[in-house]
A and B are shown apart, each in its own frame.
Chain A
């Protein structure tokens, strides 16, 4: 019916470079115990967990339209799963890490059914209340040492070097699953639906997208990714307590990283996490005044660049790292 053939491009030069660099960096992380200091490794573990948790929050808020201030519920649930599996079932902590995604998923499914009728701010408050309930319940459970928290003694069977090797491998896998997995999901048919929902859920439903089921799936997947990051983070800490695992500060960090980096873009949380992480290392010792500056920065970006730093950069140069879009090119046929 048309006189032209078409080509659909998905990658760009910038994305090929960025993805190659990203894979090389990921491969480099597990080699760190052989050349980097323990301090540097700790920093990379923390940064990996931040990126993963922020990317999951971006998936939830940026694509699913569900602004949660209670993702600490799943950080805590993932962390506690690991400790309980190790202490009570005697499992090797490293092998327990993937199992730590089960409890967050089991908690997320009924939580979503409770929260799904709530919209916007009510949803946010609902997630917060739920996270507080998890914190209070954990703080009163004698099996997990109530308010005093748990220690991961099983790590004592490994040398410091072995722990570092295990943790760096886990961090590389964490980033591969959360960032790489989100990338692959967004490029698929489901990603098309998620991006449409981000822009207009009513239109998306009238074009055949089951918005309710998509949101449920996103909520559960985000909980699992967040729980995985929580398990790795607290494994590195060797200790978890209700007040740290279920700390609402986790959600503040998510909101800061994603809002400043760029919401609804894959690159946003990475940019935001790098900024937050660097700023905290450099200026963290200023304490309260540093927090005020971070708050003001969020406010300014929300007011003047709702697309975050990545959105600002995108206006200058269209160099995506992880392209999920489609560029259509018409080519006239040579013959008649």
Chain B
């Protein structure tokens, strides 16, 4: 009887916790809340898009011809290719789509000029990936994804998600934003690209 009472108390406390968690997650700003189901590995997602052959028809696909010329050759079967800072810089200068996978507060403190923020751990990450598709950005668009370098794997997780969405010219800037700053390259502050 006593143990039943203890279990009952525990169940009540757990129920209260779940309710509070749900309410807080609903009320909290996007950068401090989560989708109830997150997708953080390629196995969670279903490919939605075309193969390279199927989507290469657009004449303006993937940015300028020059951009496609300087982009290192990448196996389309792999979700991404890791590149060093000098390659990332050249791709950025040539007009590649730059994506910042770090948290939005880090993005606001400083990011690569022109970079879009898709903070992989925040609630609106999937929404922002969906926005890329709504803008009809071609799947062959050259993209450079970065995070904080070092052990940071956010850029890889995001690249896998983008890969499963259909984009296949994705380059991960391995050393990330700290390397960009170390090189003394321009930095944009604020919440706009």
Q: Do A and B come from one complex?
A: no
- Which positions in A face B, CB cutoff 8 Å? none
Q: Interface of B with A (CB < 8 Å)?
A: none
